[in-house]
């Protein structure tokens, strides 16, 4: 079988087919990793982005080859629009929870998989393969290493009501610090008659937290009423 089409700079049906197939596979590898993390932008999204980025790169190359009479044709013009346009998709993967931002890794992966598709479309198979392997290493392997090195947990909302206008904020922070709970954001609300108050904190809660012990310590605060700890979207 003649594999010359792999290195050919001419856009024809052979390298179009191969490049679209390869870009779909490489995009699928990255999408599979995101899908395994239950991200909204998963397998199918990454495959579509990679394949279509590859097609747009092929179109960028095809136009000046086919319409040679247009001397100002720029092969990189369409590809440049892909890089900027993909940002809209990436923005859709980002959301805010309290004072923290989530989905940045997935947004970055969407941008990266577009680059993989463009690389394959331009015939840079080695670069596309290497960056795919590097990204898989960063997303999968380093994620597992990070969970062992860094404290794992989740962002939650802690709400505490008081039967008094005064809140022992310093004592609250001391209790949270003792339980390795990290405060991200805080808001305090008083009742209309200013006889009661409520504090709402967005906190990073480690998986190893003993919630009963935390509640026990918080219940020792003066005039404390109801305490709740849970997800807040």
d(CA 109, CA 132): 10
Q: Which residues of the chain are modeled with pLDDT < 50?
A: 99, 232-233
Facing residues of 186 across strands? 201
User: What's the fold here for domain 153-230?
Assistant: Alpha-Beta Plaits (3.30.70)
Helix (H) / strand (E) element for 168: namely: none
How high is the pLDDT of residue 233?
A: 39
CA–CA–CA angle 221, 226, 230 (5° rounding): 110
pLDDT at position 200: 87
Residue 77 to residues 72, 73, 118, 175: CA-CA distances in angstroms?
11, 8, 12, 57
In the three-class reduction of DSSP (H, G, I as helix; E, B as strand; rest coil), residue 229 is classed as strand
What is the spatial distance between Cα 152 and Cα 205, in angstroms, rounded to a whole number? 8
pLDDT (0 to 100) of residue 146: 67
Contact at 8 Å (CB) between 137 and 113?
Answer: no
* Domain extent listing, the chain: 4-149, 153-230
Which pLDDT score, from 0 to 100, does residue 199 have? 86
Residue with structure tokens 């993989």? 116
Q: State residue 45's pLDDT score.
A: 87
pLDDT at 27: 92
Q: Please give the pLDDT value at position 7.
A: 66
H or E element at residue 137: none
Q: Count the neighbouring beta carbons within 10 Å of the beta carbon of residue 222.
A: 11
């Amino acid at each position: 079988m003649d594999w010359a089409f792999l290195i050919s700079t001419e856009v024809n049906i052979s390298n179009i087919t191969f490049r679209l197939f390869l870009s779909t596979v490489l995009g699928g590898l990255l999408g599979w990793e995101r899908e395994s993390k239950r991200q909204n932008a998963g397998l199918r999204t990454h495959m579509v982005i990679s394949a279509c980025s590859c097609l747009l790169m092929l179109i960028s190359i095809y136009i000046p080859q086919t319409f040679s009479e247009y001397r100002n044709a720029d092969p990189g013009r369409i590809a440049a629009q892909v890089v900027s346009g993909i940002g809209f998709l990436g923005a859709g993967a980002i959301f805010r929870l309290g004072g923290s931002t989530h989905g940045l890794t997935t947004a970055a992966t969407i941008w990266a998989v577009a680059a993989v598709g463009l690389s394959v479309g331009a015939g840079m198979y080695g670069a596309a393969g290497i960056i795919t392997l590097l990204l898989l290493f960063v997303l999968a392997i380093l994620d597992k290493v990070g969970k062992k090195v860094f404290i794992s947990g989740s962002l939650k909302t802690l709400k505490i009501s008081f039967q008094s206008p005064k809140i022992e904020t310093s004592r609250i922070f001391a209790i949270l610090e003792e339980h390795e709970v990290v405060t991200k954001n805080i808001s305090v609300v008083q009742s209309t008659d200013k006889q009661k108050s409520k504090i709402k904190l967005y906190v990073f809660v480690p998986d190893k937290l003993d919630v009963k012990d935390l509640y026990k310590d918080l219940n020792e605060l003066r005039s404390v009423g109801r305490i709740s700890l849970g997800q807040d979207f």
